[in-house]
Amino acid sequence: MTGPLREREEAHALLAAEAERARAGGGRFVLLRGATGTGRSAMLEAAVAHAAGRGLRVLRARCSPEDTAVPFSSVLQLLGPVPEFADLTPDLDDRGSAARLWRLLRSYAARSPVLVAVDDVHLADEASRRWLVEAARRVDRLPVLVVATERSQYDIDPRPPGLTHALSPSLIRTHTLAPLTDTAAAGLVRAAFPTAPDEWTADCVRAGAGSPLLLHALLDDLHDTPPPSPVPDTCAALYPGAYPAAVSWWLDTTGPTTAETARTLAALEQADQAPPRTVAPICSVSPAPLATTAALLADATGADPARVAGWLTAMTRLGLLRGDAQGRPRYAHPLLRDAVLSGWPGARRRAAHLAVAEAMLRRGDRVDAVARQLLGSGPVGPPWALRVLRDAVAVAVREGRPDDAVVYLRRALAEPLPDDLRQRLLTELGSLEYASADAPAGLPRLAEALNLPAGPRDRVRTALALGTALAGRGEVRAAVEVLRGVEDGLTGHPELVRTVRTASALLSDQDQTVRREAYRWLTDTAERSPELVGATGQALLVRYAATAGASSARAAMARLRALLTEPAEPLAEPFLLGTVAAVAQWADELDEAERLVERGLAGQRPSLLHPMQRALHDVRLDITAARGEYTRLLSEADAGTEAADGTETAVGTETATETETATETGTRPHTHPHTHTHTRSHAPATGGPTNAHAHALLALVETGRTAEARHLAARFDLRGAPDSWELNRFLYARGTLRFSHGDITGALHDFLECGRRQSARAVLSPVVTPWRSAAARCRLALGSPREAVALAEEELRLARVWDTPRTVGRALRVLARVTGGRRGLELAEEAVALLRDSPADADLIAALLTQGRLLSTTGDRSRARDSLREAAERAERLGAVRLRSRAEEALRAGGARRTTTAHTGSASLTGSERRIAELAATGRTNTEIADLLHIARRTVETHLTSAYRKLGIRRRGELGEALKGEAEGH
């Protein structure tokens, strides 16, 4: 060890004083104790140098385990170098030899004061130790200073008693060398690297762990890679390797049990730090984390638990271990942990991980904590290991950690497995790899799974997953061919055949040509043999008729509700629920649609790709958009687009932007209490826009975040985007953006292209995208009122076929706008009356705007102001910045002032929010409220969140006082 000594002033003073005492004729025995690496030998060298400088003759010995078999070998090291005693050797009489050697020392001391320096006396042979103990009893009568060093570190295997065990404390001066403080260690680092930054210095201090030995070794290794090169976390990055050699020597001195425990602790900690990282710690937090860790290590290594706990405490006091945020003992630095593991054979490491896993399993630790240890164990064989890994996969998926689930599944596939189980695990792994943005790995896994022997249901699951993945990459025809390919093996399972054909029809929505083929087959088969298409296939035909403008909402919902009562194959049920939910949303049955979506998602296995998983999330977005819940919509769409892209976030969510929007709308931004896991399967891997992107774009426009909307729209070059209904949705959204900032020609192009593509898919009804109404407004703005009226009238005709307040009211409002005059006002009033019974507040606001403007043109300014004020107030409550701005402009143009809307307090609550808040204030749970009002639990939570914000409260218990106070105030 090289370098200056720090924090050893007290030891220096003691040895200097005792050296002077020896010069004056009085002897003393000084014992320097300390843990390995605390600088005992360096302190002894300093004492030797000082004594020699003061004129003392020095006799030195360094004890080692190799000399323990030779009696008096350590004493002979002391006396052998003296020329006049060089030829003396002890005989077999220990007592006589001891006396003779003592006489030799007295004879030598008679000539001048003597320093006897014995390093590592704990390693001396027994005869030498007895001789030194006897010397301690006599040395005060001679001018002899005996200084010995002794290791005093706590080990798990108890060590023999120390040198002072049989001596009175008055006969010996003992000084224990403490580990370096962080301040002293930092001083050593700066002495070696004067320009080192504070952070780099602190990193070195942690890696030195209070040990002069380790710190000096580290600084030697870092000599050729000074800062700003970072302090490595692994020994592989160190050269020439003095640090790992020092750690290895420290482990060798501790004994086999302590070394095994130290390495097991390092392996355990390494498993905690390595991916997967998002789960709970391997040692669950408890009132006594050190005791918990000690019990686990003792169980894994077979050591005494009390001694392991003592060792952990001692190592923490020395600085080699430090408590983490939960108080669990951990190595002071990753480099130290890696050095402890260095040189440990791979087989031994794997055995340690397995032993820890078994110990954790016996203790009842979290299943994913046990699984993480199995990640390092290699194939095990016993059934419990596979069970643990599969349970950990389920936990990770349930908690929204698909990447962790992938790691566990890959490890599970390393176990010896029968083909059918391997097939199921490969299907699950391929699904998760694809969903977590590792599509190149996911597709081959699914293809391999499809080629393995399996039961019919498992083959269908795999085919559904592979088909979903292929369709997500734009390979729709390949997806349909995969599904058709499994039909041959489904003889005797007609319900599975229906499921496969339904999936083919659903996946074909991404491609015009394949869609026409699929629905032609579905229609023909339903006419000839309805039992072959089943309830799910018939539901798809109802949806097809709705989009083709060939069915009313009442007739469609009556038929679909009847189909819901029929028994459904479990694999096919999500298709039925998702299809009915989509149609229910178009039919303004938003609460029923939401319940169906939640039911469908609850029946999904998140670890398996399924065509309806994406569709159900899309319907959820459609429901949120229909309600005009823009904050929630942006949150949900943001999660979907970010996961789909795998890169930057699609929707701007910076605090400053939200604050600006909140200032404009008079509301405070809030986060919906739910978060949703959106996976890559919700969007094509080809980079085309998704339904989430379309909704996000529309929500940004409506909330006045135009710059963000433009940024989102500019990300997609639609010329190369694959054909899909999602592309059509995005064209409509981009057209709305263009119209909002005056690019009327560009907007018209987008709306007409959307219509062309929709018509080619036989999607004629405005229930999906009201492109005709949007194009009519463009035609009017461009000076073509006749074309505008024709488009609006055609939209109204198709809307009356579907016959819901939202579709008819929306079409009436646009026809009123392009018609104008008294006839236009009559249409606008009809639209307003209809939309008051619709759940779509945004459409009602737009109709009120049209009504107000038309009233102004006819000279009825009083009624016009009433309509426009109502529109402005409703828009403010909804957070519809664009509509509110338009209402305020119309009011100013008519010479009126807006009345101030209550932004907060009871008056700002909508009817639904007040009703739900009052029920919650009486102590009813969200589930009870949902059942009572026949709405989805999610709707209850959304309204309560909004009510909390408006009432300025944070807890449910404050509702009663807030509502009561508002009532008294009014």
What would the pLDDT profile of 804-843 be if each residue is shown by its tens digit? 999 999 999 999 999 999 999 999 999 999 999 888 889 9
The pTM assigned to this predicted structure is: 0.74
Comparing 405 with 286, the larger pLDDT belongs to 405
pLDDT band at 905 (very low <50, low <70, confident <90, very high): low
Could you tell me which residues come within 8 angstroms of residue 925 by beta carbon, excluding any fewer than 6 positions away?
Answer: none
Average pLDDT over residues 178-183: 94
Per-residue model confidence as pLDDT tens digits over 342-391: 989 999 999 999 999 999 999 999 999 999 999 999 898 889 999 999 99
| Distance in angstroms (rounded) separating the CA atoms of residues 272 and 212 | 28
211, 318 in Cβ contact below 8 A?
A: yes
pLDDT band at 640 (very low <50, low <70, confident <90, very high): low
* 701, pLDDT greater than 50: yes
Span of 437-451, 758-772, 897-911, 936-950 with lowest mean pLDDT: 897-911
Q: What DSSP element (H or E) covers 330?
A: strand 329-331
How many CB atoms sit inside 10 A of residue 925's CB?
13
| Distance in angstroms (rounded) separating the CA atoms of residues 15 and 21 | 10
How many CB atoms sit inside 10 A of residue 224's CB?
9
pLDDT band at 904 (very low <50, low <70, confident <90, very high): low
Give the pLDDT score at 82. 52
| Distance in angstroms (rounded) separating the CA atoms of residues 827 and 824 | 5
Average pLDDT of the chain is 86
Strands 321-323 vs 329-331: parallel, antiparallel or unpaired: antiparallel
Per-residue model confidence as pLDDT tens digits over 252-279: 999 999 999 999 999 999 887 766 644 4
Geometric angle at alpha carbon 906, from 904 and 908, rounded to 5°: 50
Per-residue model confidence as pLDDT tens digits over 19-70: 999 999 999 999 999 999 999 999 999 999 999 999 999 999 999 988 777 8
How many CB atoms sit inside 10 A of residue 840's CB?
21
How many CB atoms sit inside 10 A of residue 492's CB?
7
| Distance in angstroms (rounded) separating the CA atoms of residues 599 and 601 | 6
Tell me the two tokens of residue 330: 């951990």
Span of 73-77, 581-585, 848-852 with lowest mean pLDDT: 73-77
312, 294 in Cβ contact below 8 A?
A: yes
191, 198 in Cβ contact below 8 A?
A: no
* 155, pLDDT greater than 90: yes
* 658, pLDDT greater than 70: no
Nearest to 855 by CA among 830, 820, 818: 820
Per-residue model confidence as pLDDT tens digits over 412-429: 999 999 999 999 999 999
Per-residue model confidence as pLDDT tens digits over 772-786: 999 999 999 999 999
| Distance in angstroms (rounded) separating the CA atoms of residues 739 and 698 | 12
pLDDT band at 666 (very low <50, low <70, confident <90, very high): very low
Q: Which residues pair with 28 in a beta bridge?
A: 145
pLDDT band at 967 (very low <50, low <70, confident <90, very high): very low
Give the pLDDT score at 854. 94
Could you tell me which residues come within 8 angstroms of residue 684 by beta carbon, excluding any fewer than 6 positions away?
Answer: 472, 473, 474, 510, 690, 722, 724, 726
Tell me the two tokens of residue 861: 């300014």
Strand, helix or coil for residue 254:
helix
pLDDT band at 933 (very low <50, low <70, confident <90, very high): confident
Give the pLDDT score at 540. 93
* 667, pLDDT greater than 70: no
Comparing 472 with 729, the larger pLDDT belongs to 729
Nearest to 856 by CA among 823, 821, 886, 898: 821
* 473, pLDDT greater than 80: yes
> Left if phi > 0, otherwise alpha if psi is -120 to 50, otherwise beta: which for 677?
beta
Comparing 234 with 688, the larger pLDDT belongs to 234
> Left if phi > 0, otherwise alpha if psi is -120 to 50, otherwise beta: which for 162?
beta
Give the pLDDT score at 721. 82
727, 735 in Cβ contact below 8 A?
A: no
Give the pLDDT score at 906. 62
Could you tell me which residues come within 8 angstroms of residue 242 by beta carbon, excluding any fewer than 6 positions away?
Answer: 217, 218, 220, 221
